[in-house]
Amino acid sequence: MDMSAIEEPHRGFTRHFASSKDWSKEQLTTLLKEKLRPNIVNGLKAPESLLGDLQEIYIDNFSRYKIRMTQKLVTDITSKERQCEIIETEHKRAHRNARENGEQILEQFYFPHMRASIRKYVAGCDVCNKCKYDRKPSQIQRQQTPDPKYPCEILHMDIMEIQGQKFITCIDKFTKFAKFFSIKDRSLLTVRKKLIKVLHYFTVPKILVTDNERSFLSPLIEAFIKSLGIKLYLTPTQRSEVNGQVERLHSTIIEVYRCLRTEYPDLSVKELIEICVDRYNNTIHSTTKRRPRDLFFNRINGASFEKLLSEQKKVNTDLRHLLKRNMAARNAKMNRNRQSPKKYRKGDRIYVAIKTIQGKNKALYRKEIVEKDNRVTVLTKSGRKIHKEHIKNLKGLSPKKNTV
């Protein structure tokens, strides 16, 4: 062996240099036994002429060692600022993922914890988070919703339009009884006037669930509802299943409407809808196993007043347990492959899916700041209620820590 040297490019990393005009197997074996360490990954750079001998030596003496062969010596980067600059330059070149950025950088440079630093930078890239698809979107567990204890405690309401005819639709969550109220337009005065009739028909509920229909979001309507002591719950945007009671009702009524339209082509839309709703209310419901009209109006054939009260109390109790049991069974089935909702803190940065995108050349997500965490939704500083399944996963990064 003609000469040797040692350097420490990074803390905990040692590089040994050795050279000789003519290496023998014995010299190579002695050198490797002295320098290689069994509990770490060892890098070895050697001329191609020695690769055959080194392979034989490895098989005979170092088969349990972790050794990586190379023909290239990269530049060591010790400055934190220079490390950040290299990562930023490479990532902004094409905004590729952390693995590909690491492979590109490793061809020329090396520094400790390089892959972790790259992952952290890529996860916090604002451009990538806005414009790239979420390959593994969140699928959070379905949560238990409030179960009513008596008729008209919880009402679900929406506005449906079919062939130009508009209706305020309402369904009682307890009895599944539904009613459609025709309206001429969606103006605030029209909706408020019809809303009085709806509540007069069903009675004032404890909770009223609606989607983000503009007519229901107006301060005039909201103030009117709250003045009656009703708790108004607005569903998150793009989450129709939260108001699933009325959405499923719409699907059923439209299905029946299409069938009746062919049988009674001379009837108006309003007349056909009234027939559809009447037939729905007089059909045994798949959840309650009873007709919604019988449950809503306490219909029991041949019963005295005392028996009516006793029977209705029993029916309400049995129905409440049935609804609760069905909801628990449905949630358990749907939650088999879902995750618990992620918790966010005030001030966390999130990226929310934009559902109204026209064309693939526009951003897919927008940036929001969390104001409050509400189990399956978050309230942002901009005042929006966002369902957590619409929030992009920031892999390998805390929402607040987004820089290298």
Question: pLDDT tens digit string along 332-385?
Answer: 787 777 778 888 999 999 988 887 756 667 788 888 999 999 888 889 998 888
User: For residue range 242-259, what is the model confidence (pLDDT) as tens digits?
Assistant: 678 888 899 999 999 999
pLDDT at 301 over 70: no
User: How far apart are the two ends of the chain, measured CA to CA in Å?
Assistant: 44
Arithmetic mean of pLDDT over the chain: 84
- Who's near 96: CB < 8 A, 6+ residues apart? 104
CA distance 294 to 311: 12
pLDDT at 302: 41
Copy the structure tokens of residue 151: 């008729």
pLDDT at 137: 77
Least trusted range by pLDDT, from 11-20, 122-131, 387-396: 387-396
pLDDT at 403 over 70: no
pTM for this predicted structure:
0.57
CA distance 378 to 399: 14
Q: Report which of residues 335 and 173 the model is more confident about.
A: 173
pLDDT at 399 over 60: no
Convert 328-343 to b/e letters by CB count within 10 Å (16 or more is b): eeeeeeeeeeeeebbe
Least trusted range by pLDDT, from 86-95, 188-197, 300-309: 300-309
pLDDT at 166: 93
pLDDT at 9: 85
Q: Where does the pLDDT of residue 305 fall: very low under 50, low under 70, confident under 90, or very high at 90 and above?
A: very low
pLDDT at 61 over 70: yes
pLDDT at 395: 65
Q: Where does the pLDDT of residue 304 fall: very low under 50, low under 70, confident under 90, or very high at 90 and above?
A: very low
Q: What is the number of other CB atoms lying within 10 angstroms of the CB of residue 185?
A: 10
CA distance 168 to 276: 15
Q: Where does the pLDDT of residue 11 fall: very low under 50, low under 70, confident under 90, or very high at 90 and above?
A: confident
Mean pLDDT, range 268-294, rounded to an integer: 92
pLDDT at 167 over 90: yes
pLDDT at 92: 92
Q: Where does the pLDDT of residue 197 fall: very low under 50, low under 70, confident under 90, or very high at 90 and above?
A: very high
pLDDT at 154: 92
Q: Where does the pLDDT of residue 153 fall: very low under 50, low under 70, confident under 90, or very high at 90 and above?
A: very high
CA distance 191 to 183: 7
pLDDT at 249: 92
CA distance 41 to 66: 5
Q: Where does the pLDDT of residue 8 fall: very low under 50, low under 70, confident under 90, or very high at 90 and above?
A: confident
39, HSE (Cβ side, Cα atoms, 13 Å): 0
pLDDT at 235: 79
CA distance 239 to 63: 57
